[in-house]
């Protein structure tokens, strides 16, 4: 491994940079450049994200751009910085945190920020080394694009670069940087930071920035007694409710729903010990470090509300009236269940679950979730096979997933009676675009990581392609949509990254 000399010339990639966050002022961040990463190499690249941010995808083949992502060359027009935030971690106030290993380079004319995660120490690194390891970087890269492919609001990932530089975790690993992209990486924790430290002017500046950029309708809203900050809290509650409803429907477990990992835009961010469920277990804990199960799969909807409550508390100096804040938060309690039921209805091929679901449809849904849990049925396969079962008439593959076939048959009989012959085609079409064939199961990520450690990145590329369009059939790739191997259940993913 040779040490790559730091380039001082500015690389112009033909983008116009606006960098509105940096204009907030120095109480919000520390300006600093990424730390150089020796001898970087490409691990994964997304041309779709390059297009979205207005970057010519040819840069993803360029050694100069490789150096940019590795932190070895500055880019013209950017203003690199690390932002400060605080937050509640595992239910406890954790005080000041901040971008301990992520550096925001800037924001393109398309309004997308580019951030390098794993770019070296910052004033907010505390005892951390500022780096990220290859395995967690590949997982973040693939999962960002997988969630986008599923239609779930998320930060995106432009690319991952690796290096043989040693990184010390439980064992010695190697370093990587993920280039993440989102309209903003502002978290609930940014608001908590300025509120808890009684910097109310900065708090207002931050809220005004977020409203003006992302929630301008909050200034026109007359529902909240003309209070734009209460309107903001409601808008964030609604976006968060919709995002978490999608997580629950697809079987996604985030793993670390601390308030500093909650996006003010209702995006899924900070992919760490996440997992897509294989066998359906509502109480599944995907994060090996979460010994109490605070962030278990079935706790996520309540935790999101708890986190929104923290945001409401942080915004109180601006909202001023507790009643207004509570009313804004209440929207979560209606939007989450109605969105979740509508999504689950679509998984069943029924368009009218949601606001006006009949009692028998609700029971049909509740009963299948209970049966899936009792039989620990593979969650993605159940829904995909059901989608291909022609309204519940071709059910062999579905019933084979259950230990209790009698109970499965009884439910399938009720289900096929519910889908009328006339409605079967429409139901199948809806289900096939609602129930993905491909999800980033832990063992798939793990296989790609093992190969990547051998400098073979073809699995990263294949998974990216499948996960970008997870509802397509992709003939020849059925192995990636199959039951997980036995060893998958022994994979342990923790906060270590
Ligand atoms: P996370 O659990 O990944 O959301 O991280 C919580 C906080 O720790 C954030 O402020 C991160 O920036 C910081 N952090 C995590 N890992 C590191 C690291 N290796 N070096 C520095 N800071 C880190
Ligand atoms: Mg985080």
Across the chain, mean pLDDT equals 96
Q: How confident is the model at residue 155 (pLDDT cuts 50, 70, 90)?
A: very high
Residue 102 Cα to ligand 1 middle (Å): 9
Which pLDDT score is estimated for 316? 98
Which pLDDT score is estimated for 298? 98
Burial of 441-472, coded b for 16+ CB within 10 Å and e otherwise, reads bbbbbbbbbebbeeeebebbebbbebbbebbb
Q: How confident is the model at residue 353 (pLDDT cuts 50, 70, 90)?
A: low
Would you say residue 228 has pLDDT above 90?
A: yes
Q: Mean pLDDT, to the nearest integer, of 240-263? A: 98
Partner residues linked to 31 by β-bridges: 81
Q: How confident is the model at residue 358 (pLDDT cuts 50, 70, 90)?
A: confident
Query: How many CB atoms neighbour CB 107 within 10 A?
Result: 27
Q: Mean pLDDT, to the nearest integer, of 448-465? A: 98
- Domain ranges across the chain: 32-185+449-497, 226-346, 360-432
Q: How confident is the model at residue 357 (pLDDT cuts 50, 70, 90)?
A: confident
Which pLDDT score is estimated for 359? 85
Residue 128 Cα to ligand 2 middle (Å): 13
Share of the chain above pLDDT 70, in %: 98
CB distance 243 to 151 below 8 Å = no
Q: Mean pLDDT, to the nearest integer, of 308-335? A: 98
Q: How many CA atoms lie within 13 A of 29 on its CB side?
A: 24
Alpha-carbon distance 463 to 329, whole Å? 38
Would the CB of 100 count as within 6 Å of ligand 1? yes
Would the CB of 88 count as within 6 Å of ligand 1? no
Ligand 1 atom showing the smallest separation from residue 131 Cα = 19
pLDDT-wise least confident of 215-224, 346-355, 390-399: 346-355
Which pLDDT score is estimated for 222? 83
Would you say residue 435 has pLDDT above 80?
A: yes
Would you say residue 1 has pLDDT above 60?
A: no
Residue 390 Cα to ligand 2 middle (Å): 43
Q: Mean pLDDT, to the nearest integer, of 459-463? A: 98
Which pLDDT score is estimated for 186? 99
Would you say residue 287 has pLDDT above 60?
A: yes
pTM: 0.97
Would the CB of 259 count as within 6 Å of ligand 1? no
Would the CB of 187 count as within 6 Å of ligand 1? no
Q: How many CA atoms lie within 13 A of 309 on its CB side?
A: 9
Residue 331 Cα to ligand 2 middle (Å): 26
Ligand 1 atom showing the smallest separation from residue 495 Cα = 2
Residue 488: Cβ-neighbour burial (10 angstroms; 0-12, 13-18, 19+): middle
Question: pLDDT by residue (tens digit) across 159-193?
Answer: 999 999 999 999 999 999 999 999 999 999 999 99
Residues with Cβ within 8 Å of 308's Cβ and at least 6 positions away in sequence, in order, are 188, 233, 236, 237, 240, 329, 332
Q: CA angle 113-457-436, nearest 5°?
A: 70
Q: Mapped to the 3 state alphabet, what secondary structure does the chain carry?
A: CCCCCCCCCCECCCCCECCCHHHHCHHHEEECCCCCCCCCEEEEECHHHHHHCCCCHHHHHCHHHHHHHHCCCCECCCCCEEECCEEEECCEEEEECCCCCEEEEEEECCCCEEEEECCCCCCCCCCCCCCEEHHHHHHHHHHHHHHHHHCCCECEEEEEEEEEEEEECCCEEEEEEEEEEECCCCEHHHHHHHHHCCCHHHHHHHHHHHHHHHCHHHHCCCCCCCCHHHHHHHHHHHHHHHHHHHHHHHCEECCCCCHHHEECCCCECCCCCCEECCECCCCCCCCCCCCCCCCCHHHHHHHHHHHHHHHHHHHHHHHCCHHHHHHHHHHHHHHHHHHHHHHHHHHCCCCCCCCCCCHHHHHHHHHHHHHHHHCCCEHHHHHHHHHCCCCCCCCHHHHCCCCCHHHHHHHHHHHHHHCCHHHHHHHHHHHHCCCCCCCCCHHHHHHHHHHHHCCCCHHHHHHHHHHHCCCCCCCCCHHHHCCCCHHHHHCCCCCCC
Share of the chain above pLDDT 90, in %: 94
Considering every ligand atom shown, identify the ligand nearest to the alpha carbon of residue 89 and give its number.
1
Task: Residue 145: name the closest of 468, 443, 446 by CA.
Answer: 468
Alpha-carbon distance 101 to 83, whole Å? 10
> What are the Cα distances from residue 229, in Å, to 209, 320, 328?
11, 9, 10
Largest CA distance in the chain: 70
Backbone angles phi, psi at 288, to 5 degrees: -60, -25
Residue 89 Cα to ligand 1 middle (Å): 11
**Per annotation, catalytic residue among 164, 212, 222, 260:** 260
CB distance 56 to 14 below 8 Å = yes
> What are the Cα distances from residue 139, in Å, to 181, 274, 370, 400, 493?
15, 9, 30, 31, 11
Q: Mean pLDDT, to the nearest integer, of 215-236? A: 94
Which pLDDT score is estimated for 221? 81
Would the CB of 131 count as within 6 Å of ligand 1? yes
Which pLDDT score is estimated for 225? 84
Partner residues linked to 182 by β-bridges: 113
Which pLDDT score is estimated for 2? 54
Q: Mean pLDDT, to the nearest integer, of 63-87? A: 98
Q: Mean pLDDT, to the nearest integer, of 439-461? A: 98
Q: How far apart are the first and last CA of the chain?
A: 23
Residues with Cβ within 8 Å of 11's Cβ and at least 6 positions away in sequence, in order, are 64, 65, 67, 68, 73, 74, 75, 76
Would you say residue 270 has pLDDT above 60?
A: yes
Catalytic, 164? Answer no
Would the CB of 256 count as within 6 Å of ligand 1? yes
Which pLDDT score is estimated for 352? 65
Which pLDDT score is estimated for 157? 98
Pocket perturbation via mutation, ligand 1, pick of 128, 137, 262 by most ligand atoms within 8 A of CB: 128
Query: How many CB atoms neighbour CB 87 within 10 A?
Result: 27
Would the CB of 97 count as within 6 Å of ligand 1? yes
Which pLDDT score is estimated for 354? 59
Nearest CA to ligand 1 atom 14: 100
Residues with Cβ within 8 Å of 26's Cβ and at least 6 positions away in sequence, in order, are none
Would you say residue 8 has pLDDT above 70?
A: yes
CB distance 467 to 440 below 8 Å = yes
Would you say residue 445 has pLDDT above 80?
A: yes
Residue 90: Cβ-neighbour burial (10 angstroms; 0-12, 13-18, 19+): middle
Alpha-carbon distance 358 to 371, whole Å? 20
Alpha-carbon distance 278 to 34, whole Å? 38
């Amino acid at each position: 491994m040779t040490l790559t000399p730091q380039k001082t010339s500015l690389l112009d990639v033909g983008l116009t940079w606006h960098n509105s966050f940096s204009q907030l002022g120095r109480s919000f961040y520390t300006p600093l450049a990424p730390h150089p990463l020796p001898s970087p190499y490409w691990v994964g690249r997304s041309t779709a994200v390059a297009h979205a941010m207005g970057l010519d995808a040819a840069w993803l083949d360029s050694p100069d751009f490789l150096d940019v992502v590795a932190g070895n060359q500055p880019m013209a027009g950017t203003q690199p910085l690390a932002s400060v935030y605080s937050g509640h971690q595992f239910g406890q106030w954790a005080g000041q945190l901040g971008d301990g290993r992520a550096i925001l380079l800037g924001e393109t004319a398309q309004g997308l920020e580019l951030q390098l995660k794993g770019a070296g120490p910052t004033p907010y690194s505390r005892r951390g080394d500022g780096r990220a390891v290859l395995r967690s970087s590949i997982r973040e890269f693939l999962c960002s694009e997988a969630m986008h492919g599923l239609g779930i609001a998320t930060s995106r990932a432009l690319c991952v670069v690796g290096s043989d530089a040693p990184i010390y975790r439980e064992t010695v690993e190697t370093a990587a940087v993920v280039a993440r992209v989102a309209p903003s990486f502002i978290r609930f924790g940014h608001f908590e930071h300025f509120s808890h430290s009684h910097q109310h002017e900065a708090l207002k500046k931050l809220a005004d920035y977020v409203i003006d950029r992302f929630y301008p309708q909050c200034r026109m809203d007359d529902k909240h007694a003309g209070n734009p900050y209460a309107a903001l809290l409601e808008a964030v509650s609604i976006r968060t409710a919709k995002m978490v409803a999608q997580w629950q429907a697809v079987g996604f477990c985030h793993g670390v729903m601390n308030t500093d990992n909650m996006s003010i835009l209702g995006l899924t961010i900070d992919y760490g010990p996440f997992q897509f469920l294989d066998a359906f277990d509502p109480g599944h804990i995907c994060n090996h470090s979460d010994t109490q199960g605070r962030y278990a799969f079935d706790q996520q909807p309540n935790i999101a509300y708890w986190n929104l409550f923290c945001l409401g508390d942080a915004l109180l100096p601006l909202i001023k009236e507790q009643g207004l804040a509570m009313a804004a938060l209440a929207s979560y309690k209606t939007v989450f269940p109605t969105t979740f039921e509508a999504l689950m209805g679509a998984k069943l091929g029924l368009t009218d679950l949601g606001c006006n679901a009949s009692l028998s449809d609700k029971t049909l849904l509740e009963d299948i979730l209970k049966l899936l849990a009792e039989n620990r049925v593979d969650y993605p396969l159940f829904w995909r096979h059901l989608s291909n079962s022609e309204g519940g008439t071709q059910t062999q593959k579905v019933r084979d997933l259950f230990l209790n076939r009698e109970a499965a048959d009884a439910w399938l009989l009720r289900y096929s009676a519910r889908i009328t012959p006339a409605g079967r085609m429409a139901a199948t079409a809806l289900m096939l675009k609602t129930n993905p064939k491909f999800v980033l199961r832990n063992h798939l990520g793990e296989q790609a990581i093992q190969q990547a450690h051998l400098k073979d990145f073809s699995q990263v590329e294949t998974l990216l392609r499948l996960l970008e369009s997870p509802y397509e059939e992709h003939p020849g790739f059925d192995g990636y949509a199959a039951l997980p191997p036995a060893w998958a259940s022994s994979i342990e993913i923790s906060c270590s990254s």
